Structure 1
């Protein structure tokens, strides 16, 4: 899948210099967005290759930049709604900062769609057509660092819509949440409190969740995981080459190869599928359902491969590099907590349900 580098050498150097520093990573966001582009249209392999490269360089940098890239893709996929930010858009507040001014725009983005069982973020439209959102949004990574965000809010008891918000607004406040993470330690996650904050809707009710781009946007995270796991496997390979490895070390190195090559194959297939679909606002429901099943398979496969690699390097390399190699120890801790943010059991169960909802999957052979 990943034939040639996606990131130009200057950006690779800058990403390495930003390792462990989300603020420095955010300063790279416009240049990374310009270099990697958006999913679909024949560009998905290039984009995911770039995300994997970032994951291999540093997971703090990759975890910071991936949602910014996703937000820009979402705004593109919103179609005709996203136009000239200076144009008159009926019913939209003019001070929200809806889209980047240009390819080098200074805005940076988060995407916050998590829901709390105890709180709801609600959106209300006033008589003049303007929208405002009020309430609590949990699990907002880097909310104190990015300038803008795409957030989901309830427009009724049953429907949600995506909104663009300016986090510098006086009507938005970050919560005082406790953050004691050891992996991705500087990627602080907090809640956000909105008090009738101006918001610009992006798409109609439920568009964010039903578009084909929703599923393929989620695969970008898996590309980051894969890149980080490849870097760990490379360190295991280097260790084996520097000494005479025993059969156990060879076994674990082979396990890494099996898992990562299989994960690369499903990523490559998913990239091909993404490029074959219309990811814009008019994509069909059938396309969205097929894309979601693909995303579930890819994320599950890559997640499993990463766990194989973490087990392999842990069993083979032991505690030495965890206690003496800062970069290795940080990468292991970062990848572990990044993977924990994904719930594989839930996704695999959803995949099983999608199989039962469709035609027979395994009955094609005589």
Structure 2
């Protein structure tokens, strides 16, 4: 067991975030964005812990996440390596290897998915990582970006765990996508942190037009991104149970847009300020590297294709595609609700004042 277990416990003990979908989702996302703007790794680890609080609450076990603990959520399911769960006498144990574990040697507890021995299905478990039989595998996270997130493999050997539900219980609840959109708030915060030196330089007397052009474009990107997050948070709070069934499409739209925003901000800052901050400011260089890895949690164009595929499937089942797009975009792409335009013969001739 690593001596690093619980490193972030004190920070997280003071992190009291509103649960998503309860009326204060934007306040939750703002706090996560602010943490990530200050330090991308801290924001990423705090988001996972906050997600664990939301998940355990959704699944009827809010008492699991105790003050002073530090939880990870390890739900990646690649073909290998695999983690297996076995039941005996009503109790479960976990054996095998779990990859992509953010906070592998830092977390005190984790929510993990594992394949059950009885039927081969995937289920969700809560596990105390301080128990014997848990080992963070060295040299399985050689990354430069997000290096401090310690996202390597964890081996477990006969470790007791509590089964919280099936994989479907975890994935199919509306909160899964509330959390997925919340990750984008962290990406936004990381992008804002990357932008800070450019925005500061542009506000100084004598800043070049080039610097100010990149700063203006960057501020515009950030403003648009925050507006999208604000609207998404309001939609979640207005319909936390996802009555229209578009939670996945909306969350993916937010995630892919903020992913692209973050990449644009990194490029704008580099073009506006040159290599100087990347070479002379260690915090900035680390933030850029960390953010580049963090936003790759998206599946990029595959996620964007999923948005359209969901609309197409529902349209094939008889729903109106334009109405579905309007629900995702917030505006009808056909202008279907606009007043009918008068025929040309009934409209007054245009004047210079109309321009």
* Cα distance in 1, alignment partners of residues 254 and 146 from structure 2: 23
Length-normalised TM-score, structure 1: 0.80
* Cα distance in 1, alignment partners of residues 7 and 112 from structure 2: 24
**Partner of 1:133: helix, strand, or coil?**
strand
Please give the residue correspondences for 1:300-339 in structure 2 after superposition, counting only pairs within 5 Å.
300-339=256-295
* Cα distance in 1, alignment partners of residues 130 and 96 from structure 2: 17
Q: How many Å apart are 1:163 and its aligned residue?
A: 0.5
Match for residue 65 of structure 2? 100
* Cα distance in 2, alignment partners of residues 232 and 50 from structure 1: 17
Count of matched residue pairs: 318
* Cα distance in 2, alignment partners of residues 228 and 23 from structure 1: 24
* Cα distance in 1, alignment partners of residues 296 and 287 from structure 2: 14
* Cα distance in 2, alignment partners of residues 145 and 25 from structure 1: 7
Q: How many Å apart are 1:184 and its aligned residue?
A: 2.4
Name stretches of at least 5 consecutive residues in structure 1 with no aligned partner: 1-20, 85-98
Q: How many Å apart are 1:24 and its aligned residue?
A: 5.4
* Cα distance in 2, alignment partners of residues 106 and 187 from structure 1: 19
Please give the residue correspondences for 1:47-66 in structure 2 after superposition, counting only pairs within 5 Å.
47-66=28-47
**Partner of 1:357: helix, strand, or coil?**
helix
* Cα distance in 2, alignment partners of residues 291 and 158 from structure 1: 28
* Cα distance in 2, alignment partners of residues 206 and 112 from structure 1: 15
Match for residue 93 of structure 2? 132
* Cα distance in 2, alignment partners of residues 330 and 259 from structure 1: 22
Given candidates 151, 162, 169, the residue that maps to 1:189 is 151
CA contact (8 A) 1:148 1:164 kept: yes
Length-normalised TM-score, structure 2: 0.82
* Cα distance in 2, alignment partners of residues 210 and 100 from structure 1: 21
* Cα distance in 1, alignment partners of residues 175 and 236 from structure 2: 8
Q: How many Å apart are 1:271 and its aligned residue?
A: 0.7
Name stretches of at least 5 consecutive residues in structure 2 with no aligned partner: 316-320, 326-332, 337-355
Are residues 1:242 and 2:204 paired? yes
CA contact (8 A) 1:174 1:193 kept: yes
Match for residue 159 of structure 1? 121
* Cα distance in 1, alignment partners of residues 188 and 288 from structure 2: 13
Q: How many Å apart are 1:74 and its aligned residue?
A: 0.6
Are residues 1:173 and 2:156 paired? no
Please give the residue correspondences for 1:207-246 in structure 2 after superposition, counting only pairs within 5 Å.
207-246=169-208
Please give the residue correspondences for 1:40-51 in structure 2 after superposition, counting only pairs within 5 Å.
40-51=21-32
Name the Cα RMSD after superposition: 2.3
* Cα distance in 2, alignment partners of residues 73 and 253 from structure 1: 36
CA contact (8 A) 1:22 1:60 kept: no
Given candidates 290, 295, 299, the residue that maps to 2:255 is 299
CA contact (8 A) 1:321 1:329 kept: yes
Match for residue 141 of structure 1? 102
Q: How many Å apart are 1:158 and its aligned residue?
A: 6.1
Distance 1:336 1:322, change over 3 A: same
Given candidates 63, 68, 72, the residue that maps to 1:110 is 72
CA contact (8 A) 2:5 2:105 kept: no
Q: Which has the larger radius of gyration?
A: 2
